[in-house]
Structure 1
Amino acid sequence: MVDFLQDLSPVVQALLAGLFTWSFTALGAASVFLTKEINRKFLDTMLGFAAGVMIAASYWSLLSPAIEMSSMRQVPVWLPAAVGFLLGGLFLKGMDELFPHIQYGRPSKDAEGIKTSWQRSTLLVLAVTLHNIPEGLAIGVAFGAVAVGHASANLAGALALTIGIGIQNFPEGLVISLPLRREGMTCLKSFFYGQASAIVEPIAAVVGAGSVILVESILPYALSFAAGAMIFVVIEEIIPESQRGGNASLATMGAMIGFVVMMILDVSFG
């Protein structure tokens, strides 16, 4: 796999990686063809797992390389990581305030963002789509870092990040397609909406890779920006949702396992 990707341009690498992570969302959404229901304990465990993966990826694959790269610059070593991290969180906060969306399991009256008459299905898809933007950016920036030749970045590490994000995308497809099926939507339409939420990932991956290749100096800021955006999503949405169903211990253990899995992937291949 690594040998095959080495012959491609970094933008194409990022695009393929984004399509790979999208496919896991589609796989989760395809569960709608098998069942209408989702076991809440399983869902909370998977959401916890996703949170753990994203936390680990934010440090091992994004913040740590950003800090290492900053040591070679004429600024305090912590500055790019701190600035980029906070900007990433502010960016997601702004997106939350701007785009109408609703989280899984919440009533329609709890929709966030600008008030709209859009259907509940659209608001559900937008909620997960917002979460997928930083994941796509993280993948793209990781491949872009390899392209510009930073010593702390390598193709195996970018692949490890891609695999980790792909695995945690599975429950995101579930939390869109199955609720829509229970509300009376056809299997095919429920699947379509479920997988559509991740289409933004390959787009964001291409944008992330292209940006750091064109302007190499923003790389540590871009890495930490993606980390900040992902941590915002974890704290704001994923962890609270995983705890709401009364399965806090399962969700917490899922997060611990997810963190360890992503850490092993990154340390072993990165």
Structure 2
Amino acid sequence: MAAATGLGAVPFFFVELDPHWAGICNGMAAGVMLAASFDLIQEGQEHGAGNWVVIGILAGGIFILLCKKFLEQYGEVSMLDINGADATKVVLVVGIMTLHSFGEGSGVGVSFAGSKGFTQGLLVTLAIAVHNIPEGLAVSMVLASRGVSPQNAMLWSVITSLPQPIVAVPAFICADAFNKFLPFCTGFAAGCMIWMVVAEVLPDAFKEASPSPVASAATLSVAFMEALSVMFQSFTHEYK
């Protein structure tokens, strides 16, 4: 799952982004993050605790706002030779995508502990691995648009998904406990991503490119991610 995320950086070994395309790529990244948020919200609701999903969304938005204020007060932030406001945004995007991996890792562990055991867990693992490729592309687009090398973009894309295999193990061992916390965790991660898209990623995209291509890129990204999600949900249901 984690290795698959790194595949999202592959295009940037062959292309270089000018400011216009950087804006469109940020729009695509926003679409991927929004689609991932919708999937997390749906996953939390499927566990029968809609109120905790809503509380998680609100908590996630507040958490990112506080983190942003903390980073601004901390002083000059630096990451991967990026400084200032851009570095703050990169830290937040990488942090949010890493955070959302905890929820997906929990889902993998719980699926292995389900009634179908290994078969169901393997299907969920493969589905998330494929789903991680466009998420790695989203992280890489945000990094590449700020001058980060393809090698570093690939490395950080993989790092954002490392919690998935790590968290899957305790989630499998303590499936009942993780099931109870999953709705809040998925809502929290979704709230973080929604806040970041609306407050940071899309505004940056609109500065670099005109609204029409940015909106089109974001819409197509959401549609592609949702189609991918529906396809794998349908396949998993039929296989079971």
* TM-score (norm: length of structure 1): 0.67
> Alpha carbons of 1:147 and 1:234: their partners in 2 closer, same or farther (altered >3 Å)?
farther
Matches within 5 A, 1:97-136: 97-99=69-71, 112=72, 114-116=74-76, 118=78, 121-123=81-83, 124=87, 126-136=91-101
Partner of 1:173: 140
- Aligned residues of 1:88 and 1:228 also touching (Cα < 8 A): yes
Cα offsets for 1:205-239 (capped at 9, x unmatched): 24543564433221222222222222122122211
- Report the counterpart of residue 7 of structure 1 in structure 2: none
| Cα pair distance change 1:120/1:155, threshold 3 Å | closer
RMSD: 3.2
* 2:157 paired residue among 198, 207, 210: 198
User: Within 1, Cα distance between the matches of 2:59 and 2:166?
Assistant: 17
Indicate whether 1:56 and 2:39 are aligned. Answer: no
Give the AA of the match of 1:133.
T
What letter is aligned with 1:115?
A: G
Gaps of 5+ in 2: 234-240
Q: 1:58 to 1:66 in 2, by over 3 A?
A: same
Unaligned residue ranges in structure 1 (runs of 5+): 1-16, 71-76, 100-111, 182-189
Alignment deviations for residues 20-67 of structure 1 (CA, whole Å, 9 cap, x no partner): 113423x25534xx64xx2333322222222222212222x2111211
Matched, 1:88 2:60: yes
Between stretches 226-235 and 245-254, larger displacement belongs to: 226-235
Is the 8 Å Cα contact of residues 82 and 146 (structure 2) preserved in structure 1?
no
Who is 2:4 aligned against?
A: 20
3-state SS of 2:153 partner: helix
Residue 129 of structure 1 aligns with an amino acid whose one-letter code is V
- What is the rounded CA distance, in whole Å, between the counterparts of 2:121 and 2:158 in structure 1? 25
> What is the CA-CA distance between 1:251 and the residue it aligns to?
0.7
1:199–1:268 distance in 2 versus 1, CA, 3 Å: closer
The amino acid that maps onto 2:31 is G
Cα deviation for residue 127 of structure 1 reads 4.7
Residue identity opposite 2:137 in structure 1 = F
Provide the residue aligned with 1:236 in structure 2. 199
1:79 Cα deviation (Å)?
1.2
Superposed CA deviations along residues 181-214 of structure 1, whole A, max 9, x for unmatched, are: 7xxxxxxxx4444334335313332454356443
Mapped pair 1:78 → 2:55: no
Number of residue-to-residue matches in the alignment: 221
